[in-house]
Amino acid sequence: MSLILPVFAAMTLRNTPPFFSARRRLLGASALSLLPMVSTSGHAQTVAAPIKLIVPFTPGTGIDIVARQLGPKLSQKLNRPVVVENRVGASGSIGTEAVVRSAPDGNTLLVSVNTLVMNRALSPNLSFDPLKDLTPVALTSWGELILVTHPKTGWKTAKDLVQAAKAAPGRINYASPGVGTPHHMSMELFKNTAQVFITHIPYRGTAPAVTDLLGGQVDAMFLPIHVALAHVKSGRLVALAIGSERRHPLMPDVPTVAQTGLGQVNVAMWFGVFAPKGLPAEQVAGLNQEINQILATDEVKTAFSTQGMDPATGTPAEFARLVERDADKWARLVKAQGIKPE
């Protein structure tokens, strides 16, 4: 056992990632100078604590894809381990709360989607408020949702679905992975805009919902492009419309809801990175810069585009304003539709 030499502490400070505050670097140096190090080769070694990227949903979801693209590249840039950890449950609230309760030191970050603010409107008794208890760090991407149906319905357009729903209110149904998910809230916005009653069938996750949709047990569903694309191409599902302001390059023949004459239904999902409240502004800015550089690489652009997601960048302040606007939008919908939590 040997004490770290002062020169090694100085080297450690010079190699500290730029987003750490000066105060933390000084405290870290003091702590390191007092800690004994174990080395089998006779040389002192340090291992930086890993950064955790908490994903509050299951592997394979859009959020998980974002986190697993960011993780290795962020690790290389910061010269620190970065671990993606899925903490699922309660429509994302379990993983989110874990980040909210974490120390604001940059070691624990949340990768989330606009479900975050949907849950805020649906569950006012949550133990945290995402607008007050989290710090927006970086917008990473946008994802589009496609309105699809089973071929047996015979519907070819979103108008066909609306006409069927108006002819038999409540008889038509739709699936979602659960109350408060983007899939659920998107269809509720569609219903509110088209002024129709379509029965909601909530499932516990996307996989069982899609299974029953493919089997014809449910009639329709909003799905992310990366989930719907293969089934539409194979003919097992029919794409009726896309819930965005413009058509998507992966499905150029699918019109927007507005182009079908049913009104503006923009249900695009934003994805982004958050930190616990209190993370120093210089660390937020440093992380934002590193993440924006990663998002600008051709590798990430290609990985995202094949999944129907579009990289997006901006400042922490711009991301914060987006989150606030979206929270207001979905709160109005929850009230208008009388949506209740499960």
* Tokens matching residue 100: 């909210």
The residues, any chain, with a CB within 8 Å of residue 168's CB and separated by 6 or more, are none
Question: Which strands, in side-by-side order, build the sheet including 269-276?
Answer: 82-86, 51-55, 108-113, 269-276, 134-143, 309-311
What three-state secondary structure class fits 110?
Answer: strand
| 0.85 surpassed by pTM | no
Q: Which residues, other chains included, contact 47 with Cβ-Cβ below 8 Å and sequence gap of 6+?
A: none
Burial environment of residue 300 by CB neighbours within 10 A (0 to 12, 13 to 18, 19 or more) = buried
Q: Give the pLDDT of residue 209.
A: 95
Residue 236: the pLDDT is: 98
Element (H, E) at 124: none
**29 neighbors 9 (Cβ within 8 angstroms):** yes
Distance CA 88, CA 29 (A): 36
Residue 137 structure tokens: 């760090």
CA torsion sign, 288 to 290 to 296 to 302? negative
d(CA 325, CA 277): 19
Mean pLDDT over the full length of the chain: 86
Rounded Cα distance, 202 and 179, in Å: 6
- Which amino acid makes up residue 54? I
Which residue bears the tokens 């329709």?
A: 220
pLDDT, residue 149, reads: 98
Helix H or strand E segment including 227: helix 225-233
Residues of the chain with pLDDT under 50: 1-44
Buried b (16+ CB within 10 A) or exposed e, 158-196: bbbbbebbeeeeeebebbbbbbbbbbbbbbbbbbebbeb
> What is the enclosing helix (H) or strand (E) of 281?
helix 281-295
What is the reported pLDDT for 49? 85
- pLDDT score, position 199: 97
Give the model's pLDDT for residue 22.
43
Find, among 292, 268, 284, the residue nearest to 70 by Cα: 292
Cα 28 to Cα 167: distance, rounded to the nearest angstrom? 68
